[in-house]
Every structure is written in structure tokens, then in C-alpha cells.
Structure 1
Amino acid sequence: AGGAAALRWAAMPEATLRSYLSFHGQPVPDGATHAALVEQVTAHFSDWMVKEDDVVDLYTRGSRALTVDDTASNASRKRRRTNALSDVPAKRGEQVAAKITVDGDAAWILAGVISYNLKTKVYEVKDEDDESIVELPHKDVIRLDDEIAGLQQGDRVLAVFPDTTSFYKAIISKDPVKTNAERSPPFEVWVKFEDDEDESGKTPHRRILAMHIVYEPNKEIEELARR
């Protein structure tokens, strides 16, 4: 990575570079020099497979620059699990939830990102099951979150059914709690899937990876309002 975009990052003050890295969840070393921060920011965008000039333009044209104080304030607020990660384009190779059409019906599946076009906001993704490649608009792709913060018992979600690569409607059946053995990802969450009754008519609790749970688009606002 480099060129004109790198030069434009180099023109930004150190505080802006640090805030930008924090906003995108990148580690920000305390003793990093301005040159090192420029290199880190430039390298971060090289993984997106988008034009760096476009990204710089989008950031610098924002209504206001994100400051260090903003980042600290946001981090101090109680986090609620949403699909907000999807506002930032997924990287090449990242696993995501993708909405496709199967026999005329919409379905959510696990897929791997091949590329993202920043101008058209279109992803190229590969189905994790049959490895078919499809193009999807930004709104039909959800980035996955491996944290459990914000998930609550009773939340209605989409979750990957065990031994499949497909998402199905489910409800979180127990409040997620980190155990002593689960201090870092991957975390697991107990859910009950719709139409998953056993022979006795009972719906079993199933343990699902937290990163394989998302809110159905347009439903997450309802979930937050319901609390």
C-alpha cells in the first residue's frame, strides 16, 4: 500500500490517526511514532481490496473527525450487541452472514468475503458450503461479532444450526455468561431454534458460537426497544 493515499494519511495529525485506528478496532501502541501510525493505517486499508483514495475521501468528508475523547466516551458506555459492525466493510477472507435467494426464498448463510467495491457497495462472497460465488449489496451482508456483550436471554436472533452453514430463527434461552475457562473468544451461547422440537415435543437448548449469532436485519431495533 502507498502512493497518493499514503501521502494523504501522512498529512493527518497523530491524534486523528490514533482515533481512526481505535474506531476500526485496531491496536494503537502508546509509543508509536507518526510514521508508524501512517504505515499501520495504510496497511489496514490494503486488506479491504478497495481504493484507498476513496476511503480517505469518505473519512475526511465526514461531518466531523472522530476524536480521542469521542472514542473514550463510546467505550465507557454499556455496549449492546447490534449489527453495527456491518457499517464498516468486511476484509478479504472474513467470514460473514450473507443473504441469498434459494428457490425464490431468502436465506442467510455463512460466506467468506472475496472483495468489496466501495463505490458500488457490492460484496463478492463465497458460500462456505458449496463454494459458489455471488455478488451481494452491502445491506445483505452482516459482519460477525465474537463477543457476547449485549446478548440477553429472550432475544430473537438468527443462529447457525449445528453442523450446517445456514442461519435459522432462534431465541437466546439463557443469559450468556463468561466462565473462568472462557475469558477470551470463542464464546458460546445457549439458544432454542424454531421448529426444533424433539420426539417428546420439547425444544432442546443448543450451544452455538457467539460469532454465529446475529440479529435479523430490521429486527434488532425491536429487540432493543423490547428491553
Structure 2
Amino acid sequence: MPLTAESAALQIQDRLKSLQRIIHEIEDERRRCETNLNGIIRAQMSNLPPQKLKSLYKTGLQDAAQEELVIRQALAKIQEIRNIRNERRIQARNAGNKEAIRRGAQLKMLQVSAQTLPLFVSKPGEKVPPLCGAVPAESNYIARAGDIVAAVVKGLEDEEWILAEVVQFLSGQNKYEVDDIDDEQKDRHVLSKRKIIPLPLMRANPETDGHALFPKDTMVMALYPQTTCFYKAIVSRLPQTSTEEYELLFEDSNYPSGYSPPLPVAQRYVIAYKPTKKNAGGLSSA
């Protein structure tokens, strides 16, 4: 059933009310944790028997686990809101009501989208899922309508990797129909599945899942800042915290070294290197 503007607004309002309630719960849990932590510190200073101290530690761990659970519930509600808004946007586009966005505003939206991509924080022993950080999609994965992907298309001279939005997957042909994300181009392409690379759906947390990031000196493809095209680059520095970005050296003949100075690129726009048929992979200009 199509999601009308009214029903979308009602669903979002419902999630926002739930989110507000959960935020209050987070504050309550945080205060409880702080009280227990202060109690543990006082107990350590007063030389309590080990058994009593152990009991306090156990309570502290349980409180921290409960706080984590409530925070994850809040993040899930935020993602639900984003999904509803995206579904409504796709329906409006399919109805011919695609909103024209200026290039500068569009590039800003792409950056904000990458910065607010859900952060995956694994639990002890939990495996990092596909499409998190540098972990690729499974071979049978099909990107959904509205997903942002990297797509290889014919350029003026050689093939090039661009940022595109999935319109639909044509299962009978094993092909994707995608739109160039750049509104100034307004190009639609039908491409085989092998010419599409799904972008990460989650950021990897460097503090818990650093192995899910591309190692230093790895050859990658990445979105050159202030463009909607992917170019060949080398990882110069990994993100150290959940809010940091990669620092990349883009292959660029405009510089004597053959590489650009280190440039920041969000996890969402850094993917495994995949050469095109003719292109050597470097930049002639940016």
C-alpha cells in the first residue's frame, strides 16, 4: 500500500513520541549508572570484603548493559524514521515529483548522510555484518530502491565510477536501473549487476571493530571531495574514533608526487578498488 504524505507524517510522529520516551529512559539509566559507579569508588576506598565488592561490580555491569540496550532502542527508532522518510521520497520520485536540489546543497546532504550513517558497535564475540565499513556485500545481495551505490558508466573518454541511486532491480535481466545522483546530469542507466557496488549501510566503530576498516596503504576507490565520482586512492590514515574519516591520497597527475595531499573521506564513500576497462584510475583534474 502506497505511503501517503499524511500516513508518513503520522508514522514519523509516532516514532518521535517513542524516541522522546526512550531518551528519558536513557537519562534515568545514566543517572542510575553514575550512582552505582560512585558507590563502587567509595567501596574500593573503604576496603570492603571482596565478595561485597564483586556484587557491586556485577550490579554495575548489569546497569551498563541496560543503558546500552536502551540506547540501541533509540538508534533503532531513528533509523525507522529515516526509512519512512526515504520510502516517501522514493514514492514521490516515482510519481514524477522529484525535487530539484542545487549542487551545493546536494553535496552537503551527501556529507551529512555519511556522517549520520548508523554506527555498528559489536558486542563481545559478535561478527561485523556485510556492508559495514570495509566489509563487502554478500554475492547474492540486491540493493533496494533508494539505496546509494557506486556504478560504472561510460564517460567522455573511458569508463568512470559515479555515485548513483537505485531505481529498481530488474531480476529477469539481472540488471539495475539507476539514476546519476548528480541532478545536473539527470542521467538514467541500466547496468548489469557486476557494474554496481553497494555502499556501506553502517559505519564500523574503530574502537571496537578496527578490523572492519581498510588497512593503511590499501588501494581503494573513494568519492573525491566536492564531486560525485569515485577515484583511485591509497589509505593514508584510518579513522581513530567513530566520528573521524579516512585520510586518503588520491592518484593525481597534477601533483609532482603523483598523489594529492591527504584528503578526508567518510567511510560510506570508501570502497574496494575495482579497475575499469580502459581507465588507469587517476585524476586529471578535480
TM-score tier (shorter): 0.5 to 0.7
Shift of 1:188: 1.8
1:159 is the counterpart of 2:159: no
> Structure 1 residues 161, 143: closer, same or farther in 2, change over 3 A?
same
CA contact (8 A) 1:86 1:143 kept: no
Q: Which amino acid aligns with 1:147?
A: R
Root-mean-square deviation (CA), in Å? 3.6
1:176 shift after superposition: 2.5
- Counterpart of 1:192 (choices 249, 264, 271) is 249
Q: 1:89 Cα deviation (Å)?
A: 0.9
The equivalent of 2:18 in structure 1 is none
Residue of structure 2 in register with 1:143 after alignment:
198
Letter in 1 for 2:239: P
CA–CA separation in structure 2 for the residues paired with 1:119 and 1:202: 43
Q: Verify the 8 A CA contact 1:197 1:204 in the aligned structure 2.
A: no
Seen in structure 2, the aligned counterparts of structure 1 residues 215 and 165 have a Cα distance that, compared at 3 Å, is same
Per-residue CA distance 1:106-156 (angstroms, 9 max, x = gap):
110000110101232110000112121010000000110142423111110
Shift of 1:76: 3.4
| Cα distance change on mapping 1:87 and 1:218 into 2, 3 Å | farther
Instruction: Look up the match of 2:149.
Output: 96
Q: Which residue of 1 aligns with 2:136?
A: 83
Segments of structure 2 that go 5 or more residues without pairing to the other structure are 2-72, 74-86, 89-122, 205-211, 277-286
2:180 to 97, 109, 127: 127
Conserved in 2, the CA contact under 8 Å of 1:158 and 1:168? yes
Name the SS for the 2:203 alignment partner.
coil
What number of residue pairs does the alignment pair up?
149
Deviation at 1:198, TM superposition (A): 4.6
Q: State whether residues 219 and 233 of structure 2, in contact with CA within 8 Å, keep that contact through their aligned partners in structure 1.
A: yes
Q: CA deviation at 1:195?
A: 1.3
The separation in 2 between residues aligned to 1:111 and 1:201, in whole angstroms, is 28
SS of equivalent residue, structure 1 residue 139:
helix
Q: TM-score, normalised by structure 2?
A: 0.44
The gaps in structure 1 that reach 5 residues or longer are 2-28, 30-45, 48-71, 220-227
Change (3 A) 1:205 1:99: same
Q: Distance in 2 between matches of 1:217 and 1:199?
A: 25
- Following superposition, the deviation at residue 173 of structure 1 comes to 0.3
Q: Label 1:95 to 1:199 Cα distance change in 2 as closer, same or farther (>3 A).
A: same
Quote the sequence identity (%): 28
In structure 1, give the amino acid aligned to 2:203. E
User: Aligned runs of 1:9-88 on 2, under 5 Å?
Assistant: 75-76=126-127, 81-85=134-138, 87-88=140-141
d(CA) in 2 for partners of 1:163, 1:177: 23
Given that 2:142 and 2:169 are in contact with CA atoms closer than 8 Å, whether structure 1 keeps it comes out as: yes
> Does the CA-based 8 Å contact 1:111-1:125 persist in structure 2?
yes
- Are the aligned partners of 1:86 and 1:141 in contact in 2 as well (CA < 8 Å)? no
Contact conserved, 1:151 with 1:176, CA < 8 A, in 2? no
**Contact kept in structure 1, 2:235 and 2:246, CA below 8 Å:** yes
- Against the structure 1 CA distance between its residues 177 and 102, is the aligned structure 2 distance closer, same or farther, given a 3 Å change threshold? same
Q: Which has the larger radius of gyration?
A: 2
Q: Report deviation, 1:201.
A: 7.7
TM-score between the two structures when normalised by the length of structure 1: 0.55
Say if 2:133 and 2:203, in contact at 8 Å, map to a contact too. no
What is the CA distance between 1:177 and its match in structure 2?
A: 1.7
**2: CA distance, partners of 1:82 / 1:216:** 13
Partner residue of 1:212 out of 256, 262, 269: 269
Change in 2 beyond 3 A, CA 1:200/1:156: closer
- SS in structure 1 opposite 2:237? coil
